[in-house]
Amino acid sequence: MSEREIISVTVQRGGPEAPQYPQVFEVPAFESQTVLDVVSWIQQNADPTLTYRFACRVGMCGSCAMMVNGVPRWTCRTHVNKVLKGGKIEIGPLRNLPVIKDLAADMDPFFDKWVAAEGRHHPTLSRDDAIAEIDPEQPARVEASLGIECINCSICYSACDTVAGDSDYLGPAALQRAWTLYNDGKDADKDAILDAVSGKGGCHSCHSMGSCTAYCPNGLDPLSAIAGLKRATTQRFFRGRAK
Amino acid sequence: MKAVARAHPLWLAYILHRISGIGLALFLPFHFWVLSLALNNAAQLDAFLTLSDLFLVKLAETGLVFLLAVHMFGGLRLMALEWLPWSPSQKTWAAAATSGAFFISIIFLMQAI
Ligand code: HEM
Ligand code: SF4
Ligand code: SF4
Ligand code: FES
């Protein structure tokens, strides 16, 4: 039997409580190995103190995102052979977020902005009313449906240079969520949504550089959703608020 | 750790737009100053225009015209991208039509002068 191939993995260690430094691990290659498998192998076989985060392992929960060779990726569905460069990989915590320790980034700012962008449901009816029917082919619903598969992984947020330069910027995922709700026939407060996304750090801060859309693992398009908010806020500015 | 990978078309278009915008902002005051010579100091303008025969100056001017063209089309591209909710195939057709029309009109212009 031939020797198993070895991958040289550079992992960013440390956080606020210890200095940050890169540490190199030699990890045996397996077939169909994902980047998350590599990180788990290190934690189980080389250094049990390595901190990282995952849950579903199938691209549903959005908790395993990390920087892989400088690109934000969902590690559970990123195959090693797709990202391996000369037998090496570099893995770090998600960019644009504070680091808790090692590969675990603090997602609080990401979720706080989700709320700040009015990313919550404003009901039209109460539980006592009959359920309203929604035609899935209706244009606004089609637009809303384009954004609902977001898994809150924060990959777009890490990819965005506007987030990197402006700590107030709400970011692609929160703004896309706002656009989804804006187009949702069952949402009763469009004005609250437009108010939340038109101020400082809102949709008009986006420079349409499209890194969010380029790297979203679910193939979503926050860039176009934000363009939708730019149009909606501008139309409201000229036409006035709905009464 | 590695620098973030950004080399995808929209990001490159964005950085080109920013660099050309800054280049224009640096150049335009100088450009207007040269134009003002036509009103205030014709002799100096003539001296400058002789200078503009130099190859290096020509090259620099070509660069600036290029910057303006890049920035203008980049800006029009951005405004179309953000303000016209078109489908991807509509965008491709619009870009093809615009560049086709631009190409034909440039050839026409070059034959005219
Ligand atoms: C020719 C017509 C022009 C058009 C259609 C145009 C369009 C635009 C647009 C849409 C933006 C926003 C870019 C973004 O959000 O990232 C922009 C940014 C900018 N423009 Fe122009 N512009 C024009 C002329 C100029 C001129 C003459 C100057 C020089 C004074 C200039 C300097 C800039 C600068 C410095 C920026 C900031 C770049 C950035 O934010 O990335 N532009 N332009
Ligand atoms: S398109 Fe907007 S939100 Fe997306 S990466 Fe660029 S600046 Fe960020
Ligand atoms: S839009 Fe895409 S990249 Fe951004 S959080 Fe949602 S799933 Fe992740
Ligand atoms: S572990 Fe759930 S998305 Fe990767």
Contact A177, A120 (CB under 8 A): no
Task: Quote the percentage of chain B above a pLDDT of 90.
Answer: 8
Whole-angstrom distance, CA of residue B79 vs CA of residue A137 = 28
Ligand number nearest CA of A210 is 2
Residues A215 and A143 in one domain: yes
Question: Rounded distance, CA B86 to CA A105, Å?
Answer: 37
Window 9-68 of B: residues touching A by CB (8 A cutoff) are 9-11, 13-15
Neighbouring CB atoms inside 10 A of A124's CB total 13
Cα four-point dihedral sign A136, A138, A140, A146: positive
List CB contacts (< 8 A) between A230 and chain B. Answer: 82-83
Ligand nearest to the CA of B15: 1
Distance, CA of B9 to CA of A10 (rounded, Å): 29
Backbone angles phi, psi at A16, to 5 degrees: -60, -25
Burial of residue B64, with CB atoms counted within 10 A of its CB: 0-12 exposed, 13-18 middle, 19 or more buried = middle
Residue A68 sits in which domain range?
A: 6-105
Q: Answer yes or no: pTM beyond 0.90.
A: no
Sheet holding A71-74, edge to edge: A18-28, A6-15, A88-92, A65-68, A71-74
What sign results for the dihedral spanned by CA atoms A31, A37, A42, A45? Answer: negative
The last residue of a domain, from among A105, A133, A156: A105
Is A112 found in the same domain as A94?
no
When the candidates are 2.30.110, 1.10.3470, 1.20.1300, 1.10.10, the CATH number that belongs to B9-112 is 1.20.1300
Residue of B20 and B90 predicted with greater confidence: B20
Answer whether residue A1 is part of any domain. Answer: no
Average pLDDT score, chain B: 81
Residue A173: CB atoms within 10 Å: 30
Does residue A124 sit at the B interface (CB-CB below 8 Å)?
no
ipTM over 0.90: no
Q: CB of A162 closer than 6 A to ligand 2?
A: yes
Q: Are residues A142 and A67 in the same domain?
A: no
What is the per-residue pLDDT for B70? 87
pLDDT above 90 covers what percent of chain A?
A: 93
In this structure, are residues A111 and A134 in contact, taking their beta carbons and an 8 Å threshold?
A: no
Write down the pLDDT at residue B5.
75
Please check the confidence at residue A157 and state whether its pLDDT lies above 90.
yes
Q: Where are the domains of chain B?
A: 9-112
